[in-house]
Amino acid sequence: MCESSPIAYSVKTAAILTDLSESTIRDAINKQELPAYLVGRAPRILREDLLSWLTHRPARP
């Protein structure tokens, strides 16, 4: 199995990829807007969940 990108991201990586702050990503996780899974004590965000969350996020005026 050869994938071009990981199937899950850390909060830091998700923030870098989306050009959002880590606190924005963590807030979305805490509000249960963005699903995350714990690996040990570190949350991981599935690629599909991140893309879905970004797609359905309301646009700011």
If you ran DSSP here, which 8-state letter would residue 25 be given?
Answer: H
Instruction: Tell me the CATH number at 15.
Output: 1.10.10
pTM of the model: 0.85
pLDDT confidence of residue 49: 97
Angle between helices 47-56 and 11-18 (to 10 degrees): 50
* Residue 1 placed within a domain: no
The answer to whether residue 3 is domain-embedded is: no
pLDDT at 3: 60
The one-letter amino acid code at 7 reads I
Total domain count for the chain?
A: 1
Residue 47 lies in a domain: yes
* Domain coverage including residue 13: 8-56
The reply to whether 23 falls in a domain is yes
**Does residue 28 lie in a domain region?**
yes
Per-residue pLDDT, 60: 73
pLDDT in tens, the chain (61 residues): 446 778 999 999 999 999 999 999 999 999 999 999 999 999 999 999 999 999 988 877 6
| Cβ density class 8-43: b for 16+ within 10 Å, e for less | bbbbebbbeebeeeeeebbebbeeeebebeeeeeeb
36 lies in some domain = yes
- Identify the pLDDT of residue 4: 75
pLDDT of the residue at 59: 76
